[in-house]
Amino acid sequence: MTTSGTSRTLLVANQKGGVGKSSIVSAVAGMVAAAGRRVLVVDADQQANVSSSDLGVEGDGGRGLSMALQFAQELEPIRNVRPNMDVIPGGPALAVVASVAATAGQTGIDLRANFDQTLNSLCATEGYELILIDSGPGDAPLLDALLGTARYLIVPTRDDDASLSGVELLALRYLRARQAGSVIELLGVVLFDTNPRATARNRDVFEQVNDLLEGSGADPFEAFIRSDRAAAVDLRTRHLTPLELVEAAESDQKSRLQRLRQKSKPGERLWSRDPSGLASDYQALTREILTRVTRAERQRVEGGVA
Ligand SMILES: Nc1ncnc2c1ncn2[C@@H]1O[C@H](COP(=O)(O)OP(=O)(O)O)[C@@H](O)[C@H]1O
Ligand SMILES: [Mg+2]
């Protein structure tokens, strides 16, 4: 299957914050890039968690992306932040987007059209295998522009009621975007920060998600992301992808004895001893995402839709 341009643009969104959007974007991008496939991360969040914290990219505070949204100014990614991974950073400059959207009636500025055009022209020449867009909480006009541009949507959630109602809100926004002509398809909902042993509870949440998604044609992902607070702290503070953390933890273990003898300073040690379970969750999720994307592409070809 050949892919081109922005046909594999995946938006990760939930209007609720703290549900794993940025962690998932960083981890999945890291998995795809490590497998030798080129990936672009677009950080469309004012907080810039995925670009500055998770991936450790020193960015432009979101100015480039903001100019692209407002004036269709060409997007210039930061290249090779990892082998095969480019990043368009987020940051506070994205705050103006809301007021630009509010005056769109007078100015004629079309955020969605501008983003679509600039992302397309970048991707036409770069040949990314996957484009992952992270989004912030509550920034409705920007979120609508992203929903109008992306091809696929992934909604992460924790299992509490507030996060699940975020899924419901987003499902409504998604349906509105489709009614307005967007080609976006809901790829699935992914459970984040769950206890893998709480099987009855997880089944119950799965059913709730299924109810929320009724009519959208999507299932929850079978893969879920287990709770691992120690690994989460290491990932963010050290700007590592899960695969990189696994490597770091292995060498940390090797030198542990040595450092015990040398009395290492606090802060040098990793919190996590074995982040491999978490990394394998992300690996399973990445595989499932790619399988669903391929299936959707095949269905479009069979249905005769480009
Ligand atoms: N596997 C995990 N288990 C528990 N907490 C996690 C895990 N992964 C990440 N976190 C923490 O969850 C919080 C929210 O994650 P984040 O990806 O920033 O969500 P969002 O982008 O939706 O706001 C962060 O503090 C992060 O460190
Ligand atoms: Mg985030």
Higher model confidence: residue 72 or residue 220? 72
Helix (H, G, I), strand (E, B) or coil at 196: coil
Question: How confident is the model over 120-132, as a mean pLDDT?
Answer: 94
Is 1 part of a structural domain of the chain? no
The strand order across the sheet containing 130-135 reads 78-82, 85-88, 39-44, 130-135, 9-12, 152-157, 185-194, 225-226
Q: Which two tokens stand for residue 239?
A: 């700007």
Is 28 part of a structural domain of the chain? yes
Q: Which helix (H) or strand (E) holds 172?
A: helix 161-179
Amino acid (one-letter) located at 97:
V
Identify the bridge partners of residue 225 per DSSP, sorted by sequence position.
Answer: 192
Q: Among 121, 242, 220, 126, which residue's Cα sits nearest to residue 171?
A: 220
Residue 85 pLDDT greater than 90, yes or no: yes
Pocket of ligand 1 (CB under 6 A): 17-23, 49, 193, 225, 227-229, 232, 236, 278
- Rounded to the nearest angstrom, the distance between the alpha carbon of 238 and the centre of ligand 2 is 17
Report the residue among 23, 157, 234 best suited for mutation to probe ligand 1: largest number of ligand atoms under 8 A from its CB: 23
Instruction: Indicate which atom in ligand 1 lies nearest the CA of residue 25.
Output: 17
Q: Among 215, 220, 184, which residue's Cα sits nearest to residue 202?
A: 220
Is 136 part of a structural domain of the chain? yes
Least confident of 122-136, 275-289, 291-305: 291-305
Least confident of 32-36, 139-143, 228-232: 139-143
Which tens digit of pLDDT belongs to each residue from 133-145?
999 987 789 999 9
Is 234 part of a structural domain of the chain? yes
What DSSP string runs through 7-67? Answer: TTEEEE--SSSSSSHHHHHHHHHHHHHHTT--EEEEEE-TT-IIIIIIS-----TTHHHHH
Please give the C-alpha separations between residue 24 and each of 71, 121, 255, in angstroms, as whole numbers.
30, 26, 30
Residue 260 pLDDT greater than 70, yes or no: no
Is 267 part of a structural domain of the chain? yes
Is 57 part of a structural domain of the chain? yes
Q: What is the CATH number of the domain that holds 241?
A: 3.40.50.300
User: In the chain, how many domains are there?
Assistant: 1
Spatial contact of 42 and 133, defined as CB atoms under 8 Å apart: yes
- Residue 2's pLDDT band, with cuts at 50, 70 and 90, is very low
Instruction: Indicate which atom in ligand 1 lies nearest the CA of residue 236.
Output: 27
Amino acid (one-letter) located at 287:
R
| pLDDT above 90 as % of the chain | 69
Rounded to the nearest integer, the mean pLDDT of the chain is 90
- Domain housing 257: 9-302
Residue 3 pLDDT greater than 50, yes or no: no
Is 4 part of a structural domain of the chain? no
Is 3 part of a structural domain of the chain? no
Backbone angles phi, psi at 268, to 5 degrees: -85, -25
Least confident of 72-81, 107-116, 133-142, 264-273: 264-273
Please give the C-alpha separations between residue 61 and each of 3, 255, 273, 305, in angstroms, as whole numbers.
31, 37, 34, 38
- Residue 263's pLDDT band, with cuts at 50, 70 and 90, is low
